[in-house]
Chains A and B, each alone.
Chain A
């Protein structure tokens, strides 16, 4: 399974963009990059996923480098409620059931 590397923690000022990096240098061509977040005492919440193109939804944007070895999750205007642990996951191929392999994640603290 392709592994991901994320910084253990980051701070961001409220109202500013939060840019969370992720390295996945061993990713295979057919593996997707997924981002989830987990607010304290809750189950993980899906944010966004992508294969090779940049993606945007109502929560965030996902920028994947051309060589697909790294990606960045962007929260355009962070709020205090975005304080959470953010997980970058490379999702295994469909014939392995699509189970998610979580790492340690990045603990994002949004400060007023």
Chain B
């Protein structure tokens, strides 16, 4: 079956611009996670959703970052007034539920470059 998909695969933008990154989770998965991975580092948690609600957004670095999941399926990560330090690979993962034994399946990521 289809895995987690993310679009675009690459995004180049200029400092100060607004960007949206999209995640399509595996069908039927209620939990959705966003992570960010800087060069040479492991992925870092940003936010997760259970259904439509953001249950934990403690990893969002500041208020320029926002994520939504209006219908409990597709999610969009939004970054306002981008900065060069936002350059990273943004990873999305989904799991059937939030249970510890439910595997998180990752998408291929969106590579964001802020010039």
Q: Which B residues lie at the A interface, using CB under 8 A? A: 4, 31, 33, 35, 41-45, 48, 50, 55-56, 59, 91, 93, 95, 98-109
Q: Which A residues lie at the B interface, using CB under 8 A? A: 30-32, 42-46, 49, 85, 87, 91-94, 96-105
CA distance A43 to B107 in the complex (A): 6
Q: Are B100 and A98 in contact (CB under 8 A)?
A: yes
**List of B residues within 8 angstroms of A91 by Cβ:** 100
The 7 closest A-B pairs by CB, nearest first: A102-B42, A43-B106, A99-B45, A44-B106, A46-B103, A102-B43, A97-B56
**List of A residues within 8 angstroms of B108 by Cβ:** 42-43
With contact pairs A32-B100, A46-B104, A98-B102 given, residues A87 and B56 touching in the complex (Cβ less than 8 Å): no
Among candidates A30, A43, A104, residue contacting B91 with C-beta atoms closer than 8 Å: A43
With contact pairs A45-B106, A91-B100 given, residues A97 and B43 touching in the complex (Cβ less than 8 Å): no
